[in-house]
Amino acid sequence: MASSQLPFASIENEFLRVDYLTTTGPRIIGLHTKGMEGNLFAETPDVHWPVPHGEFYLRGGHRLWKAPEDSFYNCPEEGVTVIAGESVILRSPVDVSGLEKEIEFRLDGNCVHLSHRITWHGETPLELAPWTITQLRLNSMGILPLEGVAGGASAPNRSIVIWPYTSLKDERLELHDDFILVQGIPGDVPLKIGGLNTHGWLACALGNALFVKRFAIEEGVFPDMNSNVEVYVKDVCIELELLGSLRMLKKGDSAVMSETWEVHVGEFPVTFETARQVCRQLSNLSTNG
Question: How confident is the model over 96-103, as a mean pLDDT?
Answer: 97
For the chain, how are helix, strand and coil distributed in percent, rounded to 5? 10, 50, 40
Mean pLDDT for the chain? 94
Write phi, then psi, for 157 (nearest 5 degrees). -135, 5
Yes or no: say if 95 and 78 are a contact pair by the CB < 8 Å rule.
Answer: yes
**Domains in the chain: boundaries:** 2-287
Q: Give CATH for domain 2-287.
A: 2.70.98
Yes or no: say if 258 and 216 are a contact pair by the CB < 8 Å rule.
Answer: yes
Q: Give how far Cα 192 sits from Cα of 57, 183, 189, 233, Å.
A: 21, 11, 10, 7
The pTM is what? Answer: 0.95
Q: Which residues of 121-131 are buried (b: 16+ CB within 10 A; e: fewer)?
A: eeeeebebbbb
**Cα end-to-end distance, the chain, whole Å:** 37
Local structure of residue 5 (DSSP, 8 states)? G
Residue 237 pLDDT more than 80? yes
Residue 104 pLDDT more than 60? yes
Environment class of 159 (CB within 10 Å of its CB; exposed 0-12, middle 13-18, buried 19+) = middle
Question: How confident is the model over 10-27, as a mean pLDDT?
Answer: 97
Residue 260 pLDDT more than 60? yes
Write phi, then psi, for 227 (nearest 5 degrees). -100, 135
Yes or no: say if 65 and 133 are a contact pair by the CB < 8 Å rule.
Answer: yes
